[in-house]
Structure 1
Amino acid sequence: MEIDLSSYRLVRFLQFAIASVAFVGLVTRNVGVLINGSFALGVTFLPGVLKRDYRLSLSPTLTLWITVAVFLHAIGMLGLYDEVWWWDHLTHLLSATLVAGVGYATARAFDEHSDAVYFPPRFMFVYALLFTLAAGVIWEVLEFTARASAGFIGVKPVLIQYGLSDTILDLIFDAAGAVLVALFGTTLLAETVETLLARLSRERD
């Protein structure tokens, strides 16, 4: 219970910090900071919504993991993306682990739920990698579109994109995040897999 309580308090602190980032964006009329901060804050409430509406309970560690990832992205919009060269790589790595975790947990739950589906370990490794890279490509397209649209309209971009070399590096760190989940995420995601499996069982019954 101490670990759960500590995680809960840390999540609440990070939510307050993210809300502060959004408030800074509002006061300074920085649309990028405001939108990213507001979006990040909304994501932190996703575990609670999943538990309330879909009875999908995420572990305290996974909830904290999600909150830390969006917190680092939100404060990065205050200037860290420009001033700290490795900040973008760090946020991409953490975000990629989340995306890979979602893909891995969902596929594993279907694998254990249905006798007609079997995903061998090697397939799961490749699947997590490709799933994450596909999401990464979509994100890079969104970043490029947001930057181009902002330049056309004459406002600051909501998402930051620095060019082709930056895109390639982003995808490399996305792949690294997927590999980390494929190699070490089994234990951390076990509770999430069981929750998804229970949900699938209830729907079948």
Structure 2
Amino acid sequence: MQAGLVVILAAGVALGNVSVIVNATLSLAVTALPALLERDHGVTLDPVIVVWITVAVLLHSAGMIGLYDRVWWWDHLTHTLSGGLVAIAGYAVTSAIDEHAPDVTLPPAFLWVFVFLFTVAVGVCWELLEMIGRELARAMDVEPILIVYSVEDTMLDLVFNVVGATIVAAMARLSGGRAVLERLGDSLARQ
């Protein structure tokens, strides 16, 4: 998958597309984080989370070379994956607080409400950053790195973030999926 990101980066360079170059470079950096965290801080992420992160950034970077424009559902897929990833991270952080803070006790129903709201809040913050970035790029007369298509597209992005969070919550409610999610969340929470 990292080789795929290198190919996308090379395509961005060949096309002279700054958005593709920046996104592919940042995506490669993100894929290196799990190994750096393990080497420098002894933090070991579950392999499923590492693959999930890598797939999400690879698909996002691939979208930047035209798939967002040509494949109507590509943006929905990437936001669903990202929303699920944010939900797992929110679950891990919230579970760690619940487990390690003696004055905090979170009922399971509240935990999932919090994770859902956390995912929505992160999605809103991301969309605001995209819009601010676009306006700053316009003000400086440079090409925006992140593309904002419309308010309707932004709302759909948020909807698919929620779809990702809902899938993660559903996994937690299913008997087999609950163990997988707890393993993923516990691997993050231990760190």
Give TM-score, length-normalised by structure 1. 0.84
Q: Does the CA contact (< 8 Å) of 1:105 and 1:189 recur in 2?
A: no
> CA-atom RMSD, angstroms?
1.7
Q: How does 1:33-182 map to 2 (within 5 A)?
A: 33-182=20-169
User: What SS does structure 2 have at the residue aligned with 1:45?
Assistant: helix
Runs ≥4 in structure 1, deviation > 6 angstroms?
A: none
Q: CA deviation at 1:196?
A: 4.8
Change beyond 3 A, Cα 1:140–1:198: closer
| Deviation digits for residues 164-200 of structure 1 (CA, Å, limit 9, x no counterpart) | 111111111111111222221543343344345544x
Q: Does the CA contact (< 8 Å) of 1:62 and 1:188 recur in 2?
A: no
Structure 1 residue aligned with 2:11: 24
Q: 2 CA distance for matches of 1:144 and 1:134?
A: 15
The one-letter code sitting in structure 1 at the alignment partner of 2:117 is L
| Deviation digits for residues 67-109 of structure 1 (CA, Å, limit 9, x no counterpart) | 0000000010000011111111111110111111111111112
The one-letter code sitting in structure 2 at the alignment partner of 1:105 is A
Structure 2 residue aligned with 1:188: 180
Q: 2 CA distance for matches of 1:198 and 1:170?
A: 31
Q: Tell me which moved more, 32-41 or 169-178.
A: 169-178
Give unpaired runs (5+ residues) of structure 1.
1-13, 200-205
Give unpaired runs (5+ residues) of structure 2.
173-177
Structure 1 residue aligned with 2:175: none
Seq. identity, % = 46
Give TM-score, length-normalised by structure 2. 0.89
Count of equivalent residues: 186
Change beyond 3 A, Cα 1:129–1:147: same
Q: Does the CA contact (< 8 Å) of 2:88 and 2:184 recur in 1?
A: no
